[in-house]
Structure 1
Protein backbone atom coordinates (compact mmCIF):
# COMPACT_ATOMS: atom_id res chain seq x y z
CA UNK A 1 0.00 0.00 0.00
CA UNK A 2 1.23 3.39 -0.80
CA UNK A 3 2.44 5.70 1.83
CA UNK A 4 -0.24 8.03 3.14
CA UNK A 5 0.63 11.66 3.47
CA UNK A 6 -0.96 13.81 6.07
CA UNK A 7 -0.96 16.60 3.56
CA UNK A 8 -1.06 16.56 -0.19
CA UNK A 9 1.66 15.29 -2.41
CA UNK A 10 4.48 17.86 -2.76
CA UNK A 11 4.34 17.78 -6.57
CA UNK A 12 0.65 18.62 -6.60
CA UNK A 13 1.13 21.53 -4.22
CA UNK A 14 4.00 22.86 -6.38
CA UNK A 15 1.82 22.56 -9.48
CA UNK A 16 -1.05 24.39 -7.77
CA UNK A 17 1.27 27.18 -6.64
CA UNK A 18 2.65 27.58 -10.15
CA UNK A 19 -0.86 27.78 -11.58
CA UNK A 20 -1.85 30.28 -8.90
CA UNK A 21 1.17 32.52 -9.56
CA UNK A 22 0.57 32.33 -13.36
CA UNK A 23 -3.07 33.34 -12.82
CA UNK A 24 -1.99 36.18 -10.54
CA UNK A 25 0.55 37.43 -13.10
CA UNK A 26 -2.05 37.19 -15.86
CA UNK A 27 -4.62 39.03 -13.74
CA UNK A 28 -2.12 41.78 -12.87
CA UNK A 29 -1.19 42.14 -16.58
CA UNK A 30 -4.86 42.35 -17.49
CA UNK A 31 -5.51 44.89 -14.76
CA UNK A 32 -2.50 46.94 -15.92
CA UNK A 33 -3.77 46.92 -19.53
CA UNK A 34 -7.26 47.97 -18.41
CA UNK A 35 -5.89 50.84 -16.35
CA UNK A 36 -3.65 51.93 -19.27
CA UNK A 37 -6.63 51.80 -21.63
CA UNK A 38 -8.73 53.78 -19.13
CA UNK A 39 -6.14 56.51 -18.74
CA UNK A 40 -5.23 56.63 -22.44
CA UNK A 41 -6.34 59.84 -24.17
CA UNK A 42 -8.39 58.98 -27.27
CA UNK A 43 -9.27 62.55 -28.25
CA UNK A 44 -8.81 62.85 -32.04
CA UNK A 45 -8.12 66.58 -31.89
CA UNK A 46 -5.28 66.07 -29.45
CA UNK A 47 -3.86 63.29 -31.62
CA UNK A 48 -3.98 65.53 -34.71
CA UNK A 49 -2.42 68.37 -32.75
CA UNK A 50 0.38 66.09 -31.60
CA UNK A 51 0.87 64.81 -35.15
CA UNK A 52 1.07 68.37 -36.52
CA UNK A 53 3.56 69.29 -33.85
CA UNK A 54 5.76 66.33 -34.80
CA UNK A 55 5.54 67.24 -38.50
CA UNK A 56 6.50 70.84 -37.74
CA UNK A 57 9.50 69.64 -35.75
CA UNK A 58 10.58 67.44 -38.66
CA UNK A 59 10.22 70.35 -41.12
CA UNK A 60 12.17 72.63 -38.81
CA UNK A 61 14.96 70.08 -38.48
CA UNK A 62 15.06 69.69 -42.27
CA UNK A 63 15.21 73.46 -42.74
CA UNK A 64 18.04 73.78 -40.23
CA UNK A 65 19.94 70.98 -41.97
CA UNK A 66 19.37 72.65 -45.35
CA UNK A 67 20.56 76.01 -44.01
CA UNK A 68 23.69 74.43 -42.60
CA UNK A 69 24.36 72.69 -45.93
CA UNK A 70 23.84 75.94 -47.86
CA UNK A 71 26.16 77.75 -45.49
CA UNK A 72 28.87 75.15 -46.06
CA UNK A 73 28.42 75.39 -49.84
CA UNK A 74 28.61 79.19 -49.68
CA UNK A 75 31.79 79.07 -47.64
CA UNK A 76 33.34 76.61 -50.11
CA UNK A 77 32.36 78.78 -53.04
CA UNK A 78 33.63 81.96 -51.41
CA UNK A 79 36.97 80.33 -50.65
CA UNK A 80 37.24 79.26 -54.30
CA UNK A 81 36.64 82.78 -55.61
CA UNK A 82 39.65 85.02 -55.87
CA UNK A 83 39.33 87.96 -53.56
CA UNK A 84 39.34 91.45 -55.01
CA UNK A 85 39.90 92.66 -58.54
CA UNK A 86 43.13 91.93 -60.28
CA UNK A 87 44.68 95.25 -61.32
CA UNK A 88 45.49 95.51 -65.02
CA UNK A 89 49.16 95.41 -65.88
CA UNK A 90 50.77 98.82 -66.08
CA UNK A 91 51.31 100.19 -69.55
CA UNK A 92 54.55 101.80 -70.49
CA UNK A 93 54.76 105.15 -72.22
CA UNK A 94 55.89 103.44 -75.41
CA UNK A 95 52.82 101.17 -75.48
CA UNK A 96 50.48 104.13 -74.99
CA UNK A 97 52.19 106.09 -77.78
CA UNK A 98 51.99 103.10 -80.14
CA UNK A 99 48.20 102.80 -79.67
CA UNK A 100 47.71 106.55 -80.11
CA UNK A 101 49.78 106.74 -83.28
CA UNK A 102 47.90 103.95 -85.08
CA UNK A 103 46.22 105.52 -88.11
CA UNK A 104 42.46 105.61 -87.79
CA UNK A 105 40.51 103.85 -90.51
CA UNK A 106 38.32 105.97 -92.66
CA UNK A 107 34.93 104.29 -92.55
CA UNK A 108 33.66 106.15 -95.58
CA UNK A 109 36.44 104.84 -97.80
CA UNK A 110 36.11 101.34 -96.41
CA UNK A 111 32.45 101.01 -97.39
CA UNK A 112 32.59 103.09 -100.56
CA UNK A 113 32.62 100.01 -102.84
CA UNK A 114 29.42 98.59 -101.38
CA UNK A 115 26.27 100.58 -101.91
CA UNK A 116 23.45 100.25 -99.44
CA UNK A 117 20.14 99.03 -100.76
CA UNK A 118 17.13 101.24 -100.21
CA UNK A 119 14.81 100.48 -97.34
CA UNK A 120 11.68 99.10 -98.96
CA UNK A 121 9.56 100.05 -95.96
CA UNK A 122 10.31 103.74 -96.46
CA UNK A 123 9.77 103.96 -100.22
CA UNK A 124 6.75 106.18 -100.91
CA UNK A 125 4.05 104.35 -102.83
CA UNK A 126 2.89 106.15 -105.92
CA UNK A 127 -0.81 105.67 -106.30
CA UNK A 128 -3.77 105.23 -104.04
CA UNK A 129 -3.60 103.51 -100.67
CA UNK A 130 -6.25 101.60 -98.82
CA UNK A 131 -6.13 101.12 -95.06
CA UNK A 132 -9.44 99.35 -94.54
CA UNK A 133 -11.56 96.79 -96.34
CA UNK A 134 -14.11 99.34 -97.56
CA UNK A 135 -11.36 101.57 -98.95
CA UNK A 136 -9.81 98.58 -100.72
CA UNK A 137 -13.14 97.64 -102.33
CA UNK A 138 -13.73 101.19 -103.54
CA UNK A 139 -10.13 101.36 -104.82
CA UNK A 140 -10.53 98.16 -106.83
CA UNK A 141 -13.54 99.63 -108.57
CA UNK A 142 -16.21 97.84 -106.66
CA UNK A 143 -19.26 99.56 -105.30
CA UNK A 144 -18.24 101.28 -102.09
CA UNK A 145 -20.62 100.16 -99.43
CA UNK A 146 -21.59 103.04 -97.20
CA UNK A 147 -21.89 101.73 -93.69
CA UNK A 148 -24.97 103.08 -91.99
CA UNK A 149 -23.88 103.68 -88.43
CA UNK A 150 -27.32 104.48 -86.95
CA UNK A 151 -30.12 102.69 -88.84
CA UNK A 152 -32.39 102.75 -85.78
CA UNK A 153 -32.84 106.52 -86.20
CA UNK A 154 -34.67 106.00 -89.51
CA UNK A 155 -36.56 102.91 -88.40
CA UNK A 156 -39.66 104.63 -87.02
CA UNK A 157 -40.33 106.70 -90.15
CA UNK A 158 -39.69 103.72 -92.43
CA UNK A 159 -42.08 101.55 -90.39
CA UNK A 160 -44.88 104.10 -90.53
CA UNK A 161 -44.51 104.37 -94.34
CA UNK A 162 -44.49 100.55 -94.62
CA UNK A 163 -47.54 100.31 -92.36
CA UNK A 164 -49.52 102.83 -94.42
CA UNK A 165 -48.78 100.91 -97.60
CA UNK A 166 -49.33 97.33 -96.35
CA UNK A 167 -52.11 97.74 -93.75
CA UNK A 168 -54.95 98.07 -96.28
CA UNK A 169 -53.61 95.10 -98.28
CA UNK A 170 -53.52 92.87 -95.18
CA UNK A 171 -57.04 93.95 -94.13
CA UNK A 172 -58.45 92.96 -97.51
CA UNK A 173 -56.58 89.62 -97.44
CA UNK A 174 -57.75 88.80 -93.87
CA UNK A 175 -61.15 90.47 -93.23
CA UNK A 176 -62.00 88.21 -90.26
CA UNK A 177 -58.98 89.31 -88.16
CA UNK A 178 -59.04 92.16 -85.66
CA UNK A 179 -56.85 95.23 -86.17
CA UNK A 180 -54.36 94.18 -83.45
CA UNK A 181 -53.91 90.78 -85.14
CA UNK A 182 -53.39 92.43 -88.52
CA UNK A 183 -50.82 94.79 -86.98
CA UNK A 184 -48.99 91.81 -85.45
CA UNK A 185 -48.81 90.16 -88.88
CA UNK A 186 -47.64 93.46 -90.34
CA UNK A 187 -44.88 93.76 -87.72
CA UNK A 188 -43.68 90.19 -88.43
CA UNK A 189 -43.47 91.04 -92.13
CA UNK A 190 -41.64 94.27 -91.27
CA UNK A 191 -38.93 92.31 -89.41
CA UNK A 192 -38.06 90.50 -92.67
CA UNK A 193 -38.81 93.32 -95.12
CA UNK A 194 -36.12 94.84 -97.32
CA UNK A 195 -37.35 98.36 -96.43
CA UNK A 196 -36.36 97.80 -92.78
CA UNK A 197 -33.11 99.78 -92.20
CA UNK A 198 -31.95 97.16 -89.68
CA UNK A 199 -31.95 94.53 -92.46
CA UNK A 200 -29.89 96.62 -94.88
CA UNK A 201 -26.59 95.84 -93.19
Structure 2
Protein backbone atom coordinates (compact mmCIF):
# COMPACT_ATOMS: atom_id res chain seq x y z
CA UNK A 1 0.00 0.00 0.00
CA UNK A 2 2.90 2.36 0.64
CA UNK A 3 4.19 2.51 -2.97
CA UNK A 4 0.67 3.29 -4.28
CA UNK A 5 0.26 6.06 -1.72
CA UNK A 6 3.57 7.64 -2.69
CA UNK A 7 2.56 7.48 -6.35
CA UNK A 8 -0.72 9.27 -5.62
CA UNK A 9 1.12 12.01 -3.76
CA UNK A 10 3.48 12.51 -6.68
CA UNK A 11 0.60 12.69 -9.12
CA UNK A 12 -1.16 15.22 -6.92
CA UNK A 13 1.98 17.32 -6.59
CA UNK A 14 2.44 17.27 -10.35
CA UNK A 15 -1.12 18.45 -10.84
CA UNK A 16 -0.62 21.30 -8.43
CA UNK A 17 2.57 22.40 -10.17
CA UNK A 18 0.82 22.25 -13.52
CA UNK A 19 -2.12 24.28 -12.21
CA UNK A 20 0.21 26.87 -10.65
CA UNK A 21 2.16 27.15 -13.88
CA UNK A 22 -1.05 27.59 -15.86
CA UNK A 23 -2.30 30.27 -13.46
CA UNK A 24 0.99 32.17 -13.70
CA UNK A 25 0.87 31.98 -17.48
CA UNK A 26 -2.69 33.34 -17.50
CA UNK A 27 -1.76 36.25 -15.21
CA UNK A 28 1.23 37.09 -17.40
CA UNK A 29 -0.89 36.97 -20.53
CA UNK A 30 -3.50 39.22 -18.90
CA UNK A 31 -0.84 41.75 -17.82
CA UNK A 32 0.77 41.69 -21.27
CA UNK A 33 -2.61 42.30 -22.89
CA UNK A 34 -3.35 45.18 -20.49
CA UNK A 35 0.04 46.77 -21.13
CA UNK A 36 -0.53 46.42 -24.85
CA UNK A 37 -3.89 48.18 -24.47
CA UNK A 38 -2.37 51.15 -22.72
CA UNK A 39 0.39 51.37 -25.31
CA UNK A 40 -2.14 51.25 -28.15
CA UNK A 41 -4.18 53.97 -26.40
CA UNK A 42 -1.22 56.34 -26.75
CA UNK A 43 0.18 56.00 -23.25
CA UNK A 44 3.47 54.64 -24.55
CA UNK A 45 5.27 52.54 -22.02
CA UNK A 46 3.15 53.84 -19.12
CA UNK A 47 1.73 51.30 -16.77
CA UNK A 48 -1.88 51.29 -15.68
CA UNK A 49 -0.89 52.66 -12.28
CA UNK A 50 0.96 55.57 -13.88
CA UNK A 51 -1.94 56.35 -16.18
CA UNK A 52 -4.36 56.19 -13.26
CA UNK A 53 -2.24 58.56 -11.19
CA UNK A 54 -2.04 61.04 -14.06
CA UNK A 55 -5.80 60.80 -14.64
CA UNK A 56 -6.50 61.42 -10.95
CA UNK A 57 -4.12 64.38 -10.94
CA UNK A 58 -5.85 65.83 -14.01
CA UNK A 59 -9.27 65.47 -12.38
CA UNK A 60 -7.97 67.05 -9.17
CA UNK A 61 -6.63 70.05 -11.08
CA UNK A 62 -9.91 70.44 -12.98
CA UNK A 63 -11.89 70.31 -9.71
CA UNK A 64 -9.57 72.90 -8.15
CA UNK A 65 -10.00 75.16 -11.19
CA UNK A 66 -13.80 74.86 -11.02
CA UNK A 67 -13.76 75.62 -7.30
CA UNK A 68 -11.57 78.68 -7.84
CA UNK A 69 -13.85 79.93 -10.63
CA UNK A 70 -16.94 79.44 -8.46
CA UNK A 71 -15.31 81.34 -5.61
CA UNK A 72 -14.39 84.17 -7.98
CA UNK A 73 -17.97 84.43 -9.26
CA UNK A 74 -19.36 84.43 -5.71
CA UNK A 75 -16.98 87.18 -4.63
CA UNK A 76 -17.91 89.20 -7.72
CA UNK A 77 -21.63 88.78 -6.96
CA UNK A 78 -21.17 89.76 -3.30
CA UNK A 79 -19.17 92.84 -4.32
CA UNK A 80 -21.93 93.85 -6.74
CA UNK A 81 -24.61 93.46 -4.05
CA UNK A 82 -22.55 95.47 -1.55
CA UNK A 83 -22.36 98.50 -3.85
CA UNK A 84 -24.78 101.41 -3.18
CA UNK A 85 -28.00 100.92 -5.11
CA UNK A 86 -28.19 103.51 -7.92
CA UNK A 87 -31.51 105.09 -8.77
CA UNK A 88 -33.14 104.36 -12.10
CA UNK A 89 -33.33 108.08 -12.87
CA UNK A 90 -29.60 108.52 -12.31
CA UNK A 91 -28.92 105.62 -14.61
CA UNK A 92 -31.00 107.21 -17.34
CA UNK A 93 -29.09 110.48 -17.01
CA UNK A 94 -25.57 109.10 -16.84
CA UNK A 95 -26.29 106.29 -19.28
CA UNK A 96 -24.14 103.40 -17.92
CA UNK A 97 -24.83 99.88 -19.06
CA UNK A 98 -27.29 98.20 -16.69
CA UNK A 99 -27.56 94.43 -16.47
CA UNK A 100 -30.90 92.64 -16.40
CA UNK A 101 -30.26 91.60 -12.79
CA UNK A 102 -29.66 95.18 -11.66
CA UNK A 103 -32.69 96.42 -13.60
CA UNK A 104 -34.92 93.81 -11.92
CA UNK A 105 -33.59 94.83 -8.51
CA UNK A 106 -34.33 98.49 -9.22
CA UNK A 107 -37.86 97.71 -10.35
CA UNK A 108 -38.51 95.60 -7.25
CA UNK A 109 -37.16 98.38 -5.03
CA UNK A 110 -39.36 101.02 -6.64
CA UNK A 111 -42.42 98.76 -6.43
CA UNK A 112 -41.73 98.08 -2.74
CA UNK A 113 -41.31 101.80 -2.05
CA UNK A 114 -44.57 102.59 -3.81
CA UNK A 115 -46.41 99.88 -1.87
CA UNK A 116 -44.95 101.18 1.40
CA UNK A 117 -46.22 104.67 0.60
CA UNK A 118 -49.70 103.31 -0.12
CA UNK A 119 -49.69 101.39 3.17
CA UNK A 120 -48.59 104.51 5.02
CA UNK A 121 -51.45 106.54 3.52
CA UNK A 122 -53.91 103.79 4.43
CA UNK A 123 -52.58 103.59 7.99
CA UNK A 124 -52.81 107.37 8.34
CA UNK A 125 -56.43 107.23 7.26
CA UNK A 126 -57.14 104.37 9.67
CA UNK A 127 -55.56 106.28 12.53
CA UNK A 128 -58.13 109.01 11.98
CA UNK A 129 -60.84 106.51 12.80
CA UNK A 130 -59.39 106.35 16.31
CA UNK A 131 -59.74 103.91 19.16
CA UNK A 132 -63.02 105.43 20.32
CA UNK A 133 -64.68 105.04 16.93
CA UNK A 134 -63.37 101.49 16.69
CA UNK A 135 -64.95 100.62 20.06
CA UNK A 136 -68.30 102.02 18.93
CA UNK A 137 -68.14 99.96 15.75
CA UNK A 138 -68.11 96.77 17.79
CA UNK A 139 -71.73 97.31 18.80
CA UNK A 140 -73.15 100.44 17.12
CA UNK A 141 -73.99 100.85 13.43
CA UNK A 142 -72.10 103.62 11.67
CA UNK A 143 -74.37 106.15 10.00
CA UNK A 144 -71.61 107.33 7.65
CA UNK A 145 -72.53 110.95 8.24
CA UNK A 146 -70.34 113.30 6.28
CA UNK A 147 -69.02 116.52 7.77
CA UNK A 148 -71.32 118.65 5.61
CA UNK A 149 -74.45 116.98 7.05
CA UNK A 150 -75.28 114.46 4.32
CA UNK A 151 -76.22 110.93 5.40
CA UNK A 152 -74.79 108.17 3.17
CA UNK A 153 -75.30 104.53 4.11
CA UNK A 154 -74.32 103.06 0.70
CA UNK A 155 -72.38 103.97 -2.42
CA UNK A 156 -75.60 104.75 -4.32
CA UNK A 157 -76.83 107.07 -1.58
CA UNK A 158 -73.42 108.73 -1.43
CA UNK A 159 -73.48 109.40 -5.17
CA UNK A 160 -76.99 110.83 -4.98
CA UNK A 161 -76.03 112.98 -2.01
CA UNK A 162 -72.90 114.24 -3.70
CA UNK A 163 -74.91 115.09 -6.80
CA UNK A 164 -77.30 117.12 -4.64
CA UNK A 165 -74.33 119.05 -3.28
CA UNK A 166 -73.22 119.93 -6.78
CA UNK A 167 -70.11 117.79 -6.91
CA UNK A 168 -70.88 116.65 -10.42
CA UNK A 169 -71.28 120.26 -11.56
CA UNK A 170 -67.84 121.01 -10.14
CA UNK A 171 -66.37 118.94 -12.94
CA UNK A 172 -68.45 119.56 -16.10
CA UNK A 173 -65.96 117.66 -18.28
CA UNK A 174 -66.78 114.43 -16.40
CA UNK A 175 -70.03 113.16 -17.93
CA UNK A 176 -70.22 110.06 -15.73
CA UNK A 177 -69.13 111.00 -12.17
CA UNK A 178 -71.01 108.04 -10.71
CA UNK A 179 -68.90 105.57 -12.72
CA UNK A 180 -65.73 107.30 -11.67
CA UNK A 181 -66.88 107.30 -8.05
CA UNK A 182 -67.78 103.61 -8.07
CA UNK A 183 -64.50 102.65 -9.75
CA UNK A 184 -62.47 104.69 -7.26
CA UNK A 185 -64.36 103.20 -4.31
CA UNK A 186 -63.94 99.66 -5.64
CA UNK A 187 -60.18 100.10 -6.03
CA UNK A 188 -59.94 101.68 -2.58
CA UNK A 189 -61.92 98.83 -1.00
CA UNK A 190 -59.93 96.07 -2.72
CA UNK A 191 -56.65 97.58 -1.57
CA UNK A 192 -57.52 98.45 2.04
CA UNK A 193 -59.95 95.70 3.09
CA UNK A 194 -57.23 92.99 3.35
CA UNK A 195 -55.08 95.37 5.41
CA UNK A 196 -57.97 96.06 7.79
CA UNK A 197 -58.65 92.35 8.22
CA UNK A 198 -55.04 91.74 9.17
CA UNK A 199 -54.89 94.70 11.55
CA UNK A 200 -58.30 94.11 13.20
CA UNK A 201 -59.31 90.47 12.75
CA UNK A 202 -62.58 88.79 13.77
CA UNK A 203 -64.86 91.73 12.96
CA UNK A 204 -68.09 91.52 11.00
CA UNK A 205 -68.17 92.42 7.34
CA UNK A 206 -70.41 95.41 8.05
CA UNK A 207 -67.91 96.69 10.60
CA UNK A 208 -65.11 96.49 8.06
CA UNK A 209 -67.33 98.36 5.60
CA UNK A 210 -67.98 101.08 8.17
CA UNK A 211 -64.28 101.49 8.84
CA UNK A 212 -63.51 101.62 5.14
CA UNK A 213 -66.21 104.24 4.64
CA UNK A 214 -64.76 106.49 7.34
CA UNK A 215 -61.32 106.16 5.76
CA UNK A 216 -62.84 106.91 2.35
CA UNK A 217 -64.27 110.24 3.53
CA UNK A 218 -60.80 111.83 3.77
CA UNK A 219 -58.90 109.69 1.28
CA UNK A 220 -57.05 111.37 -1.62
CA UNK A 221 -58.51 108.57 -3.75
CA UNK A 222 -62.04 109.89 -3.12
CA UNK A 223 -63.04 112.13 -6.07
CA UNK A 224 -65.68 113.89 -3.97
CA UNK A 225 -63.19 114.68 -1.21
CA UNK A 226 -60.67 116.03 -3.69
CA UNK A 227 -63.38 118.05 -5.45
CA UNK A 228 -64.34 119.64 -2.13
CA UNK A 229 -60.73 120.70 -1.49
CA UNK A 230 -60.46 122.49 -4.82
* Same-fold status (TM-score > 0.5): no
Report the TM-score, using the length of structure 2 for normalisation: 0.22
Higher helix share: 2
Report the TM-score, using the length of structure 1 for normalisation: 0.25
Structure label with greater radius of gyration: 1
- Larger RCO of the pair (alpha carbons < 8 Å, separation 6+): 2
